[in-house]
Structure 1
Amino acid sequence: MVVALAMDWQELLFANWPVDPDIVDAHLPDALDVDTYDGNAWLSVVPFTNAAVRPRGLPTRLGVDLPELNLRTYVTCEDTPSVYFFSLDAEGVLGVLGARLFHHLPYYYARMTHRRSEGGASRFESRRLHPGARPVEFAATYELASERLDPEPDSLATFLTERYRFHTEAPDGTVRYSTIDHDPWPLYPANVRIDENTLFRANGFADPTGEPVHYYSPGVEITASASKRLEKQ
């Protein structure tokens, strides 16, 4: 039986690039529509630590910590705003296998490090080691740059972060979804240095040429429902 999960997403970078909607739409299942802001679709690279991952209802001390890196975009399904994950890399072998088998998520095993310096900067490095998968290398340093943002409901920051459903495509071609619940993201403008990033190419995209928009968040507590099959395929 697939269970709902609780976890803490910590020390996140939201690194976001505007792209042509037609480019993103070509990579989406037919049941999903690309979502746009000011005429642009967006591809986002999000490194963080997924901390204290556990079945909902268990105490935090029984959870496991999993550094994670994902590539995502923004979609609508039946008028509901959502995130669509192209890939998710994670450190733990058992966590990757469990996410693939029970939650139908496109996880890949990777060797990762995620450290925070005394000055407050996060250093995240990842190298995909999943058998048979396209290689991915990623390395970045990021930190908050100024005071906390207070995004308006119609702002780009809200569009890119405040979404409470995510979709994926299972190996059998069906579209799955889960709902999530959390407090609004505490967001800050971010200083970012990306030294290496092959996530786009590994997922069939050219490297975006648009100017990226970066946000940092110290994180929130998350609950996620069990994966469900989308009725309209």
Structure 2
Amino acid sequence: MSRRSRRSRQLLAMTWRDAFFASWPVDPSVVEPTLPDGLAADTDEEGQAWLSVVGFVMEDIRPRFVPFGLSFPELNLRTYVRHRDDSGIYFYNLDADDRIGVPIARRLFRLPYYRAEMDVTERDGTISFESHRTHEGVSPADFEATIEPRATPEPADPESTEAFLVENYRFLVAGDGRLYCGEIDHGPWAVQPADLTIEENTLFEAAGFDQPAGDPLVQYSPGVEVTAGRLRRAERSL
């Protein structure tokens, strides 16, 4: 589907600011049992699946052409999937510090949004990101880390692992025995390598995973302007 076609369907506009992507390679067999029927783990050129912790600040989430909206931090754990011949993102959680936006997102997009107390601060070029899940009835999860960007942000090589991890314009969710697809649109991420110091991270445990081995591939972006469309049946939208 072309970017122009995606844009014509967009209902919401927003800015994603101070985004970091911390991604661990895992064997596809780690991811496959956690996916709903109809989805398969997407892999890079080396046959690796990935689990990514992604945090950013969502600013001015609003209907298109409305000048202001909601703003709050978000932290998600995701993997990368395929449905038929198309790729997308599958979320295990999306923690957010907003009592209004969370129930709306859960209802409209069927996404696993959870309430959390979060704090994102920047000092001397270092971003501190803290999250404590407070949502009732789900596993608790905590995350605390600092991100120190290096080099200069620029678009990733389209054929690179970096692009595989950040240039995604579709997410897939399951509900009522069906698959649904949501689409977003934005320009290419301008990303740069970053140093990540993790003080605490229980997101993997909360989602039923062991902590992946090794250090993650870490990317940071100052941000991007985003539009998002309505949720659709996957069979009709792919």
Normalised TM-score (structure 1): 0.93
Question: Is the Cα contact below 8 Å between 1:18 and 1:211 reproduced in 2?
Answer: no
Q: What is the aligned counterpart of 1:106 among 81, 96, 112?
A: 112
Q: CA deviation at 1:158?
A: 0.7
Matched, 1:66 2:72: yes
Once the two structures are superposed, residues 165-197 of structure 1 have per-residue CA deviations (whole angstroms, 9 ceiling, x without a partner) of: 111223x34322111110100000001111111
- Report the 3-state secondary structure (helix = DSSP H, G, I; strand = E; otherwise coil) of the residue aligned with 1:187: strand
Q: Which residue in the other structure is 2:167 paired with?
A: 162
Question: Is the Cα contact below 8 Å between 1:106 and 1:168 reproduced in 2?
Answer: no
Q: Which residue in the other structure is 1:19 paired with?
A: 26
Q: 1:58 to 1:150 in 2, by over 3 A?
A: closer
Once the two structures are superposed, residues 193-222 of structure 1 have per-residue CA deviations (whole angstroms, 9 ceiling, x without a partner) of: 111110001111111013310000011010
Question: Is the Cα contact below 8 Å between 2:154 and 2:189 reproduced in 1?
Answer: no
- Report the 3-state secondary structure (helix = DSSP H, G, I; strand = E; otherwise coil) of the residue aligned with 1:36: coil
**Structure 2 Cα separation of the partners of residues 101 and 150 of structure 1:** 34
Matched, 1:87 2:76: no
Matched, 1:77 2:77: no
Q: CA deviation at 1:96?
A: 0.3
- Report the 3-state secondary structure (helix = DSSP H, G, I; strand = E; otherwise coil) of the residue aligned with 2:34: coil
- In structure 2, give the amino acid aligned to 1:137: D
What aligned pairs does 1:169-188 form with structure 2 within 5 A after superposition?
Answer: 169-170=174-175, 172-188=176-192
Q: Which residue in the other structure is 1:199 paired with?
A: 203
Gaps of 5+ in 2: 1-9
Once the two structures are superposed, residues 77-117 of structure 1 have per-residue CA deviations (whole angstroms, 9 ceiling, x without a partner) of: 12112111111000001100000111111100000001111
Aligned residues: 226
Gaps of 5+ in 1: none
Q: What is the aligned counterpart of 2:148 among 129, 139, 143?
A: 143
Q: CA-atom RMSD, angstroms?
A: 1.4
Once the two structures are superposed, residues 114-155 of structure 1 have per-residue CA deviations (whole angstroms, 9 ceiling, x without a partner) of: 1111x1111110000001110000001102112334532210
Question: Is the Cα contact below 8 Å between 2:148 and 2:194 reproduced in 1?
Answer: yes
**Structure 2 Cα separation of the partners of residues 144 and 178 of structure 1:** 30
- In structure 2, give the amino acid aligned to 1:162: E
Identity %: 47
What aligned pairs does 1:39-50 form with structure 2 within 5 A after superposition?
Answer: 39-50=47-58
